[in-house]
Amino acid sequence: MVDRSKLKFAKTHEWARLENGAVIVGITDFAQQEIRDIVYVELPKTGREVKQGEPLGVIESVKAAFEIYAPVSGRVVAVNDHISQDVTKIHKDPFGEGWLFKIEASSPAQLETLMNEADYQKITAESHR
Amino acid sequence: MKHTALYEIHRALGAKFAPFAGFEMPIVYKSILDEHRAVRAGAGIFDVSHMGQIFVAGPDSCKFLDYLLTNDISAPPIGSAIYAHMPNDRGGVIDDLIVYKLSERNNLLVVNASRIDADWEWIKKHAEGFTVEISDESPHYGIVAIQGPLALKISAQLHPKISEIQKMKVSVIPWKSHDIIAARTGYTGEDGFELIAENEIIAPLWQEIARLGPTCAGAFSPCGLGARDTLRLEAGFPLWGHELSEDITSLESGYSWVINWNKPSFKSKNILERQKQAGLSRKIFGFAGASAGPVPRQGSLILTKSAQKAGIITSGSFSPTLGKPIAMGFVDKAYWNETNFILDTGGRQLQAQTVKLPFYNK
């Protein structure tokens, strides 16, 4: 079980967690519930340089496509290939096996610009994606 | 926003709602994929009460509809359900609908929710000179659809007479001191019924089917409009606003069989005849993804391998049955012999092949 107090949250519904020098990124439990029926995921190539807030992937449900945004600037150093084989992992375990990619952050301090869990829960209670 | 008679039931089931043709309708209860699969494997119930009911009564009822619609209404026996298009002055399609021939002098038209007003205006405008009484009863009627291989077994428990209704037929069945117009029709590619009745009986009818459904040893689920759309797409059925519109003719939509050329005359017959003789410049094709990939949506581009624009997608989704993206779209005549295309959705591309419609045939 992932300790959610160690996660940081973007208002675009990604979570981020620093582990062994890389920032692991996924979408939140709230987001996977809202999107529902995920059928296809497009992940970035490793080596890609991204800026915070830049779109770098797409999650598609039966009904619509949703962009995934980089929670921090840096370079993509790994992607979760298991997701392409079984997209339902995002529904089953969004904070664990459903992770999407890892970014080597150019400035790890950028994580501090993201929300903590309590603040994220406030915005999800008010707004729907 | 309008609500159907089942709104509170949908809420209690935890439905996710969205506006559709002025109604707040259930799009999904839990999962479109699960609801879709329930209909293919067992049965699903749908609230389609947003659809319109226009009655055309009187001695000229069939004659009037023969004039307004592409298909023949006079010839088929009483109790027939007849799919037809209603052309405008240019041969475009005002709406696609089913005529339920309740008697020689009484036909019920079930029309698309988004087209009720346009249909009504058109029908009213052309009624002069015919001895007909037309009435838009849409606000007073609802429809519960039950679809899937178990639909017959479940529906037969409402009234034994329901099992005598053959495919594309309709019969009036008494139920709880009301009349149900029970039709063996649907929009999913499965066997099933559409039960049309006055609003006050719609909730009890839904509740009774919801009680019977789970007793029939198979998948059973309430289904939202999300599953309705993926089911109809797999079955290759057109949806007005996608494969049909006022600027698309029945011929272009691939539904030339709805035109009965033997009728001496009907609205825009000459225009459709000319188009048939001249040949089409575009028509609907089915596409399936060569593998997993971006899901094409309405408006996605159909490109050749050399990136020439060959047409446009009218409907696209992920096919739960086939496990890959499927789509329908218009292809320009110059590319009718090609079989491999790229479906481009905002720069994201899917390799696709043309496939014969429907995608799913039970």
Q: Give the minimum alpha-carbon distance from B329 to chain A in angstroms, rounded to a whole number.
A: 17
Contacts of A95 (CB under 8 A, 6+ apart): A2, A4, A7, A15, A26, A28, A29
Question: Angle at the Cα of B11 (from B7 to B17), degrees rounded to 5?
Answer: 80
Rg of chain B over CA atoms, in angstroms? 21
Is B31 within 8 Å of A37 when comparing Cβ atoms? yes
Eight-state DSSP code of residue B360: -
| CB-CB contact of B112 with B52 (8 Å) | yes
CATH 2.40.30.110 residue spans of chain B: 281-355
C-alpha–C-alpha distance, residues B157 and B173, integer Å = 12
* Subunit contact B294:A42, Cβ cutoff 8 A: yes
Mean pLDDT of chain A: 95
Report the C-alpha gap between B176 and B205 in whole angstroms: 9
Q: Which residues of B lie inside 8 Å of A (Cβ-Cβ)? A: 16, 27-28, 31-33, 226, 230, 292-295, 297, 317-318, 320, 325, 345, 348
- Are B294 and A37 an interchain contact pair (Cβ–Cβ within 8 Å)? no
- In which residue are the tokens 């021939």 written? B101
- Taking only the tens place, the pLDDT of each residue in B319-355 is 999 999 999 999 999 999 999 999 999 999 999 999 9
Helix, strand, coil percent values for chain A (each to nearest 5): 25, 35, 40
Tokens for A6, please give them. 């160690």
Taking contacts as CB-CB distances below 8 angstroms, the residues of chain A near B292 are 40, 84
pLDDT over threshold 50, residue A129: no
User: Residue B76 in contact with residue B83, Cβ under 8 Å?
Assistant: no
Reported ipTM exceeds the 0.90 cut? yes
Residues of chain B with CATH 3.30.1360.120: 7-49+139-234
> pTM here?
0.96
Instruction: Decide if B295 and A36 are in contact by the 8 Å CB cutoff.
Output: no
Convert B250-309 into a string of H (helix), E (strand) and C (coil): CCCCCCHHHCCCCCCCCCCHHHHHHHHHHCCCEEEEEEEECCCCCCCCCCCEEECCCCCE
Beta strands in B70-191 (DSSP E): 81-87, 93-103, 106-111, 133-136, 141-147, 170-175, 178-183
Closest by CA to B118, choosing from B83, B101, B93, B143, is B93
Residue of B279, B281, B298 whose CA lies nearest to B343: B298
CB atoms within 10 A of CB B105: 16
Nearest beta carbon to residue B292 from set A40, A61, A62 = A40
What mean pLDDT comes out for the span A102-112? 95
Q: Which pair of tokens denotes residue B180?
A: 């149900």
Q: Which of B16, B20, B32, B344 to mutate to test the interface with A (most CBs of A within 10 A)?
A: B32
Are A59 and A36 contacting, i.e. CB atoms less than 8 angstroms apart? no
Partner residue opposite A62 with nearest CB, options B32, B294, B348: B32
Q: How confident is the model at residue A81 (pLDDT cuts 50, 70, 90)?
A: very high
A123 in reach of chain B (CB within 8 A): no
Query: Best interface-test mutation with B: which of A42, A56, A61, A62 has the largest number of B CBs within 10 A?
Result: A62
Q: Which residues of B touch A64 (CB under 8 A)?
A: 297
Measuring CA to CA, how many Å separate B342 from each of B195, B217, B295, B301, B360? 41, 43, 12, 8, 22
Residues B208-238 as b or e (16 or more Cβ within 10 Å = b)? bbbebbeebebbbbbbbbbbbbbbbbbbbbb
- Look at the block and give the residue holding tokens 């319109």: B52
* C-alpha pair distances (Å), B26 with each of A38, B23, B144: 19, 10, 13
Cβ–Cβ gap A60/B292 under 8 Å: no
Please check whether residue B39 is in contact with residue B147, taking contact to mean a CB–CB distance below 8 angstroms.
Answer: yes
Residue A65 near chain B (CB below 8 Å)? yes
**Is the predicted pLDDT of residue A40 greater than 70, yes or no?**
yes
B7-49+139-234 homologous superfamily:
Probable tRNA modification gtpase trme; domain 1 (3.30.1360.120)
Buried b (16+ CB within 10 A) or exposed e, B163-189: eebeeebbbebebeeeebbbbbbbbbb
Considering only CB atoms, which chain B residues are within 8 Å of A37? 28, 31-33, 226
Instruction: Say if residues A103 and A23 touch (Cβ distance below 8 Å).
Output: yes
Q: What is the spatial distance between Cα A98 and Cα A90, in angstroms, rounded to a whole number? A: 4
Residue B237 per-residue DSSP state: -
Which residues of chain B make contact with A42, given a CB cutoff of 8 A? 294, 348
> Residue A127: its pLDDT value, please?
64
Q: Measured between alpha carbons, how far is A15 from A32 in angstroms, rounded to an integer?
A: 12
Asked if residue A128 has pLDDT above 80, the reply is: no
Please list the ranges in chain B whose pLDDT falls under 70: none
Give the confidence band of A4 by pLDDT, cuts at 50, 70, 90.
confident
In CATH, what class is B281-355? mainly beta
Name residues whose C-beta falls within 8 Å of residue B288's C-beta, 6 or more positions apart in sequence: B319, B322, B324, B325, B326, B327, B352, B353, B355, B359
Q: What is the pLDDT of residue B286?
A: 98
DSSP state of A78: E
